[in-house]
Amino acid sequence: MDLFFFAGVINDVVQNLPIGVSSINYLLLCVIASFFRTRTLVPNLIYDWILFFIAILIISSIHFSVLAIFFDGSISYGALMSTAFFSFLIYPFVAKLFNQIYLLGLKQENVE
């Protein structure tokens, strides 16, 4: 969780956002993903992919609300939706990559 917060602070600095906004978004996304993951008994890529899209939409809405209400910022809806859609599209590839890394780690543990 500490790395998510640190990555959010770096993202805020790079994108010139108020410090902590991205950190809150990343931590909420982590909580939502953990909740969905514990609810499923058998991992299913399609089910996880759809729930990830719903989580991204929720986090994007919270991000817009915080910036618009508290910081009086202007948000481009196109940029917000394109980021969510791009994240949605690359999810299966990243999930497959991390699954393979996890399986390689299990194999190395079994060899030792």
Write out the chain's pLDDT in tens, 112 residues: 678 788 888 988 988 888 888 888 888 888 887 887 777 767 778 888 888 888 888 888 888 888 888 877 677 778 778 888 898 899 899 989 988 998 898 888 887 6
* Residues of the domain holding 27: 2-111
Show the DSSP H helices in 1-76 as ranges: 2-15, 21-39, 45-69
CB 17 within 8 A of CB 23: no
**Domain total of the chain:** 1
CB 22 within 8 A of CB 8: yes
* pTM for this prediction: 0.70
